[in-house]
Amino acid sequence: MTDPLTRQLVIGQPFCLDAVLEGAQDFRWRSWNGWHSGVLSGNLIHIRQIGHRVEYRADSDSDLDILLRRYFRLDDDIAAIHADLSSRDFKIASLVKKYPYLRILRQPDPWECTVSYICSALAKIPQISEKVEAIAKELGNKIKLDGDVRYTFPTPEVVLEVGPGPLKELKLGLKRDRKIMAAAKRIRAGKLNLCRMAQPQVCYAEAKRRLMGCDGIGDKIADCIALFALDKLEAFPVDTWVEKAMADYFFLCKKQPAGDELVMWAQDHFGKYAGYANQLLFHDQMD
């Protein structure tokens, strides 16, 4: 093992790491000794912002610049996205001004994202985080950086190999253990190819349909996975918070459509970046 490396990533656009990670829909970031500690694609990474750059430390020789640029979606023209959303809706325009640094992340492991959102049902954010971390600690590999100890997230193969016992013992609740096993089986059977679904040639509708083919994955969880890990920016996850925000801002005097109808209304109203609008509405409710 080589010594840890310290590098700096040049951002080249308005960016605030603390704001990005605070609003991030990724449950694996921790504070550690003045750094943000996270596990990305099996790498333990420490990051912090220095001026207009992001400084990071990691053990890997692999090109983490590319990984982080993809993760933070620095390839998005965020100014153009904000302009497009603002021109479509007055409320969203005000939220863009209020939270200019909020971003969607492109999570590198759609399987981890899937398990995370299966864990998210009827749970608070710290509880979701604890469940995901418990799974990693139980079945992942230990990784260290400086004095920090974390765990990689186990692949579906590992989850299948150890069988249903370990997840059951974690007492995840609401049949979450069985739902995770079921999703892993669909991946093994080739019925759920998450990596292929992350490609642009697989459209949002197909990705969502395939995700919902899993027992325990409905509209909301499918939209979360599509938005945060499968690069489908028109996805619009409707949870209790977003539903309330929509009722307050857009359906005060009208009857609010339910389920899929509301998602389609949002996609028509907000356009191809509906996911960013969703992120703004959700974050504002949390705030």
For 81, half-sphere exposure in the C-beta direction (CA atoms, 13 angstrom radius) is 22
Give the Å distances, CA to CA, from 220 to 52, 185, 223, 277: 35, 21, 5, 15
Total of residues contacting DNA (CB under 7 A)? 32
Nearer to DNA, 198 or 217 (CB): 217
Q: Dihedral through CA 11, CA 15, CA 16, CA 20, nearest 10?
A: -100
* Contact positions with DNA (CB under 7 A) in 9-68: 25
CA 189, 208, 27, 181 torsion: positive or negative? negative
User: How many other C-beta atoms are found inside a 10 Å radius of the C-beta of residue 211?
Assistant: 26
Question: Which residue is associated with the tokens 């912090």?
Answer: 48
Cα gap 165→150, rounded to integer Å: 23
For 204, half-sphere exposure in the C-beta direction (CA atoms, 13 angstrom radius) is 20
| Chain Cα centroid distance, residue 154 | 17
Question: Which residue is associated with the tokens 């679904």?
Answer: 197
CB of 172 to DNA, least distance (A): 7
Told to check if 120 binds DNA by CB under 7 A, we report yes
Nearer to DNA, 74 or 235 (CB): 235
Among residues 121, 143, 158, 202, which is the contact residue for DNA, using CB under 7 A? 121
Kindly indicate which of the ranges 55-63, 154-162, 165-173, 193-201 contains the residues binding DNA, using the contact rule CB under 7 A: 165-173
Residues known to be catalytic: 220
CB of 20 to DNA, least distance (A): 13
Told to check if 104 binds DNA by CB under 7 A, we report no
* Contact positions with DNA (CB under 7 A) in 205-264: 212, 215-222, 224, 237, 239-242, 258-259
Nearer to DNA, 11 or 192 (CB): 192
Nearer to DNA, 25 or 152 (CB): 25
Told to check if 149 binds DNA by CB under 7 A, we report no
Site string for DNA, 172-191 (x = CB under 7 A): xxxx----------------
Cα gap 214→218, rounded to integer Å: 8
What is the token pair recorded at 225? 């996975």
Which residues contribute to the site for DNA (CB under 7 A)?
A: 25, 120-125, 127-128, 171-175, 212, 215-222, 224, 237, 239-242, 258-259, 282
